[in-house]
């Protein structure tokens, strides 16, 4: 996940025109973003599994973690957004606007880094069975 974020940061050009001209490399940025989000959701799923939480979808999973005090409500909102972004990247890729993505990639990265900073996988934040 961290490697994907670093690669995105290194690859992002300074202008939208350059971003649009990246071609296949631009698709790689999107794929790395999708991968980083999936890593977050896999970590959340593992935490929920360890806590014997039952979830019916990723938003339900994130909500359960917030309700149980494992992640903050602020992080919950960011993860809700990332779940929606993941869905677009996987299932509705044609809806991605390169212009919006270029403008918002720093915000997407900030949301992922917020997850890393909050460190919900720390054992002292997780109730034990």
Query: What is the predicted pLDDT for the residue at 94?
Result: 82
Lookup: tokens for 77? 């909102």
Lookup: tokens for 52? 């014997």
* Model confidence at 70: pLDDT above 80: yes
Q: CATH number of the domain at 67, please.
A: 1.20.120.580
Range of the domain at 54: 2-125
Query: What is the rounded CA–CA span in Å between residue 92 and residue 70?
Result: 31
pTM (predicted TM-score): 0.88
Query: What is the rounded CA–CA span in Å between residue 79 and residue 62?
Result: 7
Question: How many domains does one find in the chain?
Answer: 1
For residue 121, the SS3 value is: coil
Beta-carbon-side half-sphere exposure of residue 116 (alpha carbons within 13 Å):
13
Confidence of residue 125 (pLDDT cuts 50, 70, 90): very low
Query: What is the predicted pLDDT for the residue at 71?
Result: 92
* Model confidence at 69: pLDDT above 70: yes
Confidence of residue 88 (pLDDT cuts 50, 70, 90): very high
């Amino acid at each position: 996940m961290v490697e994907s974020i670093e690669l995105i940061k290194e690859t992002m050009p300074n202008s939208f025109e350059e971003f649009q001209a990246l071609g296949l490399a631009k698709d790689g940025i999107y794929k790395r973003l999708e991968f980083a989000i999936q890593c977050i959701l896999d970590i959340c799923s593992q935490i929920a599994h360890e806590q014997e939480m039952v979830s019916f979808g990723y938003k339900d999973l994130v909500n359960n973690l917030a309700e149980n005090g494992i992640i903050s409500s602020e992080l919950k909102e960011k993860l809700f957004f990332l779940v929606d972004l993941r869905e677009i990247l996987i299932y509705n890729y044609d809806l991605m606007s390169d212009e919006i993505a270029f403008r918002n990639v720093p915000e997407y990265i900030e949301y992922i880094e917020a997850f890393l900073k909050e460190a919900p996988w720390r054992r002292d934040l997780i109730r034990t069975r």
